[in-house]
Structure 1
Amino acid sequence: MDYHTLGSSELRVSRVCLGTMTFGQQNSEAEAHAQLDCARSHGINFIDTAEMYPVPPRAETCSRTETFIGRWLKTQPRDQVVLATKVAGPSRGMRWIRCGPKSLDRANIRAALEGSLSRLQTDYVDLYQLHWPERNVPMFGQYRFEPSHERDGTPILAQLETLEELVQEGKIRYVGLSNETPWGVCQFLRLAEERGLPRVISIQNAYSLLNRVYESGLVEIGYREQVGLLAYSPLAFGHLSGKYLDDPQAPGRISEFPAFGQRYTKENVRPAVAAYGDLASRHGLTPAAMALAFVASREFVASTIIGATTLEQLRDNIAACATVLSPEVLAGIEALHLRYTNPAP
């Protein structure tokens, strides 16, 4: 396993990160612990979770993922695990999370972190991320900024000041963003520089063969400002495995939870998936292996977040991230990207 310094921090993270949002919904606690043990045995030291997991979010299962991880983490050398979690942004109908928070204000961030620390059975998290912005931004399949949706909210400066308090208290080592835009990242960086506040070291955004929006503006920011990409959904919720082409009801999150993954309902997704699958087969690769290898090979990807529901899937995904794609495959991917540019932004 290769390791990489995350952004401008001192954190050394594995190039593959274990995503955990199936823990507590599609995976039992025993299965979750088996996945965590398997990941560690393959050299993965980076674990990502969130207070709202598992997904899709439900009142009955909310925060169960952190609880499962916490009982496992208690048996591990804490300094050998880089643990990341997230505070949920303003409620998207989830009134069971702190009564449906309206903002990322001091009270909500503090309450969220204290809850996470208790469930994770640790005194600190290595990376604390704002799961999505409080302000009006297009998210989760939306792709156009709508000024008419503007609303009042907690200023970014106030969010950073709260995070600074928690860093000083030793409860957070570093700060990251998730589902952010170029403007948002620049504001966080500017205010941190001007006010001596925590500098964000990472951004966790969707990135895959079907969604390379990150390349349009955030790559340059990440490069110049040392902010690493933690790429989530590298298989586009399983679509890039090709399994839904022949059987839309194939086992997986999309078939089990039809309202989940709305960004993948756009019309060019299926033809793009088919074209990438054909390219992979012509070069002796599985579609999933090619998709994961592509994301893991990007120089701006600090770590690729993979998830699985079985140990076999997990082992396959870890191996795929180490696959080296030939120049011919990479050229083919670029040609298809020009034909099907970001069909699932």
Structure 2
Amino acid sequence: MQYNQLGNSDLQVSDICLGTMTYGRQNSIEEAHQQLDYAVNQGVNFIDAAEMYPVPPSGETYGLTERYIGEWLKHQQRDKLIIATKIAGPGRGFKWLRGGAEGLDRNNIKQAIDDSLTRLQTDYIDLYQIHWPDRYVPRFGQTVFDPTQVKQTVPITEQLEVFADVIKAGKIRYIGLSNETPWGVTQFSQAAKQLGLPKVVSIQNAYNLLNRNFDGTLAEAVYYENVPLLAYSPLGFGYLTGKYLNGKPEKTRVTLFENFGQRYLKPNVQEAVAAYVEIANRHQLSPAQLAIAFVRSRWFVASTIIGATTLEQLKENIDSINVVLDKDILAEIDAVYTRYPNPAP
């Protein structure tokens, strides 16, 4: 397993990060602990969660993912692991989240961190991320910025001031962004530099063969600000495994949860998937390993977040660390991308 420095932090994160958003919904606590044990035994030291997990989120399952991890974490050597979690931003209407309070103000941030620490059964969080911005931005499959949706927001400097206090208190070590834009990356970075506040060390956005939007202006922003990507959804909601080419298998997210993953129902998704699966088959790779290896090959990716509902899936995904795509395979991938650019942004 390779380890990479996360931005300007002293965190050395494994090339593969274990995503946990199915814990408490599709995976039991026993299954979650099996996955955690296996991943760590394979050299994974980086585990990613969120206060609102599992997904799809609900009041009944809220916080279960962190609780499952906490029950496992209390038996581990804490300083050997990098634990990341996230605070939910406003605008989703979750009445069960922190009593329905929204906004990344001081009270919300401090409560969210304290609650996550309790559920995780740890004294500190290594990487604390803003799950999505406090301000309005297109997100989760939206692609058009609408100025009429702009609203009053907690200023970025105020958010950073709260995080500075919490870092000083020893409750978190570093902060990161998620589902962010180039403007957001630069604003957070420049505010930190100008005012001596904590600098963000990572950005967690979707990135896969069906969604390479990060290749453009976001890549430019993270290059100049030294904010590497933690790539989530490298398998495109499972579509890039090819399992949805001939229908919808039982007990998958698409089958279990209606209206979940709508971005993958857009035109050319299935055509692009079929083309990538063909490349994998031609080179004796599994489609999943091809997809993950592609994400891992990108210069701006510090760690690729994988998730699985079965131990067999997890093993296959982690085994992708042994796959290196040569220039010919990458050229074939780019040829498909030219035909079907970003069908699921």
Per-residue deviation, 1:285: 1.6
Distance 1:82 1:59, change over 3 A: same
Question: What is aligned with 1:127?
Answer: 127
Question: What is aligned with 1:209?
Answer: 209
Question: What is aligned with 2:314?
Answer: 314
Per-residue deviation, 1:256: 1.0
Question: What is aligned with 1:170?
Answer: 170
Question: What is aligned with 1:147?
Answer: 147
Per-residue deviation, 1:258: 2.1
Per-residue deviation, 1:91: 4.0
Per-residue deviation, 1:144: 0.8
The gaps in structure 1 that reach 5 residues or longer are none
- My pick for the range that moved more, 282-291 or 199-208, is 282-291
1:103 aligns with 2:100: no
Q: Which amino acid aligns with 1:164?
A: A
Deviations 1:77-133 (A, max 9, x none): 110010000000004121110133331111111110000000001111000000000
Deviations 1:239-298 (A, max 9, x none): 000101102244311111122112111112111111111122122222111101101111
| Cα separation, 2, equivalents of 1:5 and 1:251 | 37
8 A Cα contact 1:140 1:262, kept in partner: no
Per-residue deviation, 1:221: 1.9
| Cα separation, 2, equivalents of 1:126 and 1:243 | 35
| Cα separation, 2, equivalents of 1:47 and 1:322 | 20
1:68 aligns with 2:68: yes
8 A Cα contact 1:48 1:84, kept in partner: yes
8 A Cα contact 2:306 2:317, kept in partner: yes
8 A Cα contact 1:128 1:176, kept in partner: yes
| Cα separation, 2, equivalents of 1:133 and 1:264 | 23
Per-residue deviation, 1:299: 1.6
The gaps in structure 2 that reach 5 residues or longer are none
Question: What is aligned with 2:58?
Answer: 58
8 A Cα contact 1:296 1:322, kept in partner: no
| Cα separation, 1, equivalents of 2:222 and 2:186 | 10
8 A Cα contact 1:208 1:234, kept in partner: yes
8 A Cα contact 2:186 2:225, kept in partner: no
How many correspondences in the alignment?
Answer: 345
Question: What is aligned with 2:333?
Answer: 333
Residues 246-265 of structure 1 aligned to structure 2 (within 5 Å): 246-265=246-265
8 A Cα contact 1:90 1:100, kept in partner: no
Q: Which amino acid aligns with 1:277?
A: V
1:239 aligns with 2:239: yes
Question: What is aligned with 1:185?
Answer: 185
| Cα separation, 1, equivalents of 2:292 and 2:324 | 10
Q: Which TM-score applies when normalising by structure 1? A: 0.98
Q: Which amino acid aligns with 2:312?
A: E
Give secondary structure in 2 for the equivalent of 1:103.
coil
Give secondary structure in 2 for the equivalent of 1:85.
strand
Question: What is aligned with 1:218?
Answer: 218
| Cα separation, 2, equivalents of 1:192 and 1:265 | 39
Question: What is aligned with 2:272?
Answer: 272
Q: Which amino acid aligns with 2:193?
A: E
Q: Which amino acid aligns with 2:247?
A: D
8 A Cα contact 1:94 1:100, kept in partner: yes
Give secondary structure in 2 for the equivalent of 1:272.
helix
* Superposed CA RMSD: 1.0
| Cα separation, 2, equivalents of 1:56 and 1:186 | 31
Deviations 1:27-64 (A, max 9, x none): 00011011000010000000000000001101110000
Give secondary structure in 2 for the equivalent of 1:279.
helix
Q: Which amino acid aligns with 1:241?
A: T
Question: What is aligned with 1:3?
Answer: 3
Q: Which amino acid aligns with 2:80?
A: Q
Q: Which amino acid aligns with 1:286?
A: S
